[in-house]
Amino acid sequence: MNRLAVTIGNLELKNPILTASGTFGYGEEFAALIDLNRLGGLVTKAVSSEPRAGNPLPRIAETTCGMLNSIGLANVGVKNFIADKLPFLKKLDTRVIVNIAGKTIDEFASVISEIEAAGGVAGYELNVSCPNVKEGGMSFGASAQITALVTAKARLITKACLIVKLSPNVTSIGEIARAAEAAGADALSVMNTVVGMAVDIATKRPKLATITGGLSGPAIKPIAIAKVFEVTRSAKIPIIGIGGIMSCDDVLEFLITGATAVQVGTANFLNPQISEQLVTDLENYCQQNNIQDINQIIGSIQVK
């Protein structure tokens, strides 16, 4: 029996370790460095209708225990994705989830339709939480109503696992979570990056061209844990925890708080082998602690 297996909606994962969108390319970039088939799944870089060049430079800045980015959903577009990236992904023995970006509700729907026609993916993650684009990102995800509309429209198009990626930069993440759940989402990714800003003291200019960006890395893990906890109190569908995971202890912290799976993000930049390493570490942890089923840990948090 595989003690690490978990289920997200209709999707069985061989383990709860996935890679986060925007930190893992389209998988092939890591093929020389790790065995992708050992992962529970991978989430691709966002895919939109047309190719996007992304935001002006500078796009990244390092902060204490974190980094700011404002990439702006630069991607190859759905046609190039299907022609150039999907054939490689189809050959993998892991769950491939495509992160979907759109400036309009219709764009989300049309990108999913095109990929559905091509086949071979296990699920979709709706990116209604990117803080670095003007249209369709966080501006959608900050509204429970628009989140519900995007989710409902996507639900009509696909039976594959439908995941909505939530932003922490909202008044009530629980309210957005409930809206996505009611509209037919199978799971929730909690969370996207935290809006942040850094200023160069010598030039007095913001360190990013877009002024603000998304903060990621170990600096945001406590925020992510709090958001996962909040969402467990609002929605019943499975949660995929994201935010600053660097170690097996971090994975366990998310699982205990109530996440069924996790995504590893910024850590892939520091250590491109970390995702596979975390699978090994989690196996060893379960073995050493005599845990027969990882689901025993999920949501085992004790709150008085």
24 binds another protein (CB under 8 A): yes
- Quick note: the x/- pattern for another protein over 246-285, rule CB under 8 A, is x-------------------x-xxxxxx------------
Strand partners, 165: 127, 189
Residue 57 beta carbon to another protein: minimum distance, rounded to whole angstroms: 5
Strand partners, 126: 100, 164
The footprint of another protein on this chain (CB under 8 A) covers a number of residues equal to 35
From the list 130, 161, 248, 286, the catalytic residue is: 130
Q: Which stretch binds another protein (CB under 8 A): 28-36, 145-153, 283-291, 292-300?
A: 28-36
Spatial distance between the Cα atoms of 58 and 61, rounded to a whole number of angstroms: 8
Contacts with 219 (C-beta within 8 Å, 6 or more apart), sequence order:
63, 64, 65, 66, 244
47 binds another protein (CB under 8 A): no
Active site residue 161: no
Q: List, as one string, the DSSP characters of 108-136.
A: HHHHHHHHHHH----EEEEE---TT-SSS
The CA-atom distances, in angstroms, between 133 and each of 55, 118, 145, 211 are: 8, 27, 19, 12
CB atoms within 10 A of CB 301: 15
Q: Which is nearer to another protein, 16 or 214 (CB)?
A: 214
Residue 149 beta carbon to another protein: minimum distance, rounded to whole angstroms: 29
Write out the binding residues for another protein, residues 135-194 only, by CB under 8 A: none
Spatial distance between the Cα atoms of 113 and 101, rounded to a whole number of angstroms: 13
Burial of residue 155, with CB atoms counted within 10 A of its CB: 0-12 exposed, 13-18 middle, 19 or more buried: middle
**Applying CB under 8 A, which of residues 9, 58, 77, 120 lies at the interface with another protein?**
58
88 binds another protein (CB under 8 A): no
Q: Does residue 294 contact residue 11 with C-beta atoms inside 8 Å?
A: no
Spatial distance between the Cα atoms of 289 and 132, rounded to a whole number of angstroms: 42
Q: Which stretch binds another protein (CB under 8 A): 9-17, 24-32, 90-98, 283-291?
A: 24-32
Q: Which is nearer to another protein, 59 or 178 (CB)?
A: 59
**Applying CB under 8 A, which of residues 29, 50, 93, 175 lies at the interface with another protein?**
29
Residue 78 beta carbon to another protein: minimum distance, rounded to whole angstroms: 18
Q: Does residue 228 contact residue 189 with C-beta atoms inside 8 Å?
A: no
Q: Which is nearer to another protein, 19 or 232 (CB)?
A: 19
Residue 216 beta carbon to another protein: minimum distance, rounded to whole angstroms: 10
182: tokens are 């009611």
**Applying CB under 8 A, which of residues 21, 69, 151, 167 lies at the interface with another protein?**
69
Residues labelled as active-site residues: 130
| Interface positions with another protein (CB under 8 A) | 22-25, 29-30, 32-33, 45, 53-54, 57-67, 69, 71, 74, 217-218, 246, 266, 268-273
